[in-house]
Amino acid sequence: MRNEVVRLRALRSAMRITFTLGLGGCIQDPGTGFEADDDPRDDGGDLEPDADAPDPFVVGPDAALSDAALADAVAIVGPDARVGDAFVDSGDAAADAETPVDAAAACPKPEEDPEGWERCCETQGIVACCEAVNWDWQRAPACMAWGPPVPPAMEVA
Amino acid sequence: MIDLREEARRVPVAVAGSSDLFAAARDTWFGRMVNEHSSAAVFAGLAEQLRPFDAAAADTCAGFAEEERHHGVLCGAVLEAIGGEATFPAPATTALPVHADVPAREAALRNVLAICCLAETVAVALIGAERLEMADGPIRRVLSDILADEVGHARFGWRWLAAEAPRLDAATRARLGRYLEVAFGHLETHEHANLRLGGPLPAGAADLGLCDAGAQRALFRDTVETVIVPRLEAHGLPARAAWASRRNPG
C-alpha cells in the first residue's frame, strides 16, 4: 500500500501547477477542496506559485527554461523527499481485475507475419505489439504512462 | 527502427550490480522510452496548431517536443544501463485531430486540454510519487530531469486555459464539456493500458523504477478527481459532469 504522504505530496505537486497568474493577478479559486493544510505532515510548502519565478511559458534560452522548471519541481517535491519505507506492495493488486478499457487490437506474431507485426506495432501501440511476442506482463507491474498520447478526436454524431 | 543507442550511451547512467529485477525493469524502461519518444510528435503537432494564434507559445511547444525526445533518450540510457537496447520499431506518426467541427482556436484549446491539463498533469503526479519512493542515484536523477520538464508542459496548458477561459461563451464551454467526456475516457484507457497490474514487488524494485501499478492507477483517479476536475470547473468548464460521463474508446 502506498504511503499516504507520498500520495498527498504527489497530488499537491499536480495541484500546484494548475494555479496560474493571469494579467489580473492570481486566479486561484479557494473552493477547490484541496488546501496545503489538509496534510498535517506538510513540509511547509505553499500552493501559491512564486510570482517572481521565471515563467516557463516565456520563450527563452533552453537552459533557462530547464533550470526554472527544475527549480520548481524541486521546490514542489522537496530536496530530500524520499520515503524509504513507502513501497510495500499490497499483495492483492491482482484482485483489481482488468477493466474493459484495457482491451487492445491484437497483432500477428512476428514469426508468422513479420511485416504485419511491425506494421501493427506502429499502428496499434506498444501493448498490442508486445503481447504478440508473449510479453510477460505479469513478470512485474509496468508503469509506463508518462508522455501524452495523441488527443482523441471528437466523435461526430 | 528508431535507434537511440548512441545518444543513450552518452548519458552517464550507471546502475551497479546485476539484479534479478533488471529484466522486469527493462520492460518498464523500454515502454517509457517508446512513450516519451512518441510524445515528441504530439507537442510538435500542437506547436503547429498554436502557431497562428501565438508564435511564442508555438515555439515553446516545439521546445517541449525536443524535451520529450530527450526523455526518450534518458529512458533509453537507463534501459542500456540495465542491459537493454535502446531501439524500437518506429511508432506511427498520428496527426493531432484538427477538430474541424469547431473554430480553430477552440480546436487548439481542446488539444491543449487533453495534452497538458489532463495527460501532463497526471504525469506530474505519477512521476512525482515514483520519485518520492526511489533512492537517490542516477535513475532518480533521470526522473528528476523528466519531472522538471513535465511540470513545464502541464503548467503551459493551465496558463493557456487561464488566458482563454474568460472569452469562452456558454455554448463553447458546453462543447468543451462534451469534448472532455471523450478526452477523459481516452486518457483513462491510455493510463490503464500503460499501468499494467502485476505481482508483488520485492525490495529494491522502486529504486529501479518498478512501481505498484495499482497504486498508480489510484493516483491517476485521485489526480483527476481532486485536482484536474476542480481546476477545470474553476475555469468554468463542466468537468465534473464530463468525468462522470466519460466515454472510453472501443
> What is the chain A residue with the closest CA to B58?
A59
Q: Flag whether B221 is in a domain.
A: yes
Q: Residue B148: its chain A contacts at CB < 8 A?
A: 66, 69-70, 72-74
When divided into structural domains, chain B yields a total of 1
> In the numeric block, which cell numbers belong to residue B7?
545518444
Distance from CA of A46 to the nearest CA of B (A): 16
Q: How confident is the model at residue B119 (pLDDT cuts 50, 70, 90)?
A: very high
Q: What is the pLDDT of residue A19?
A: 80
The partner residue sitting opposite A82, judged by closest CB among B119, B134, B234, is: B134
Q: Flag whether B68 is in a domain.
A: yes
Average of per-residue pLDDT across B202-217? 85
Q: Are A92 and A111 in contact (CB under 8 A)?
A: no
Q: Flag whether B226 is in a domain.
A: yes
| CATH (domain of B154) | 1.20.1260.10
Tell me: the pLDDT tens digits for A2-43?
778 888 888 988 988 888 543 322 333 333 222 333 332 233
Q: Flag whether B225 is in a domain.
A: yes
The partner residue sitting opposite A22, judged by closest CB among B96, B147, B162, is: B162
ipTM greater than cut 0.85 = yes
Q: How confident is the model at residue B15 (pLDDT cuts 50, 70, 90)?
A: confident
**pLDDT over 80 (residue B224):** yes
Identify the domain containing residue B230 by its residue range: 2-11+18-88+95-244
Q: Flag whether B249 is in a domain.
A: no
Distance from CA of A152 to the nearest CA of B (A): 6
Residues 6 or more apart in contact with residue B98 via CB below 8 angstroms = B49, B107
Q: Flag whether B80 is in a domain.
A: yes
Q: Flag whether B147 is in a domain.
A: yes
Q: Flag whether B250 is in a domain.
A: no
Q: Are A104 and B208 in contact (CB under 8 A)?
A: no
Q: Residue A141: its chain B contacts at CB < 8 A?
A: 195-199, 201, 210-214
For residue A62, how many other CB atoms are within 10 A of its CB?
11
Average of per-residue pLDDT across B96-123? 97
Distance from CA of A100 to the nearest CA of B (A): 9
Q: Are B232 and B117 in contact (CB under 8 A)?
A: yes
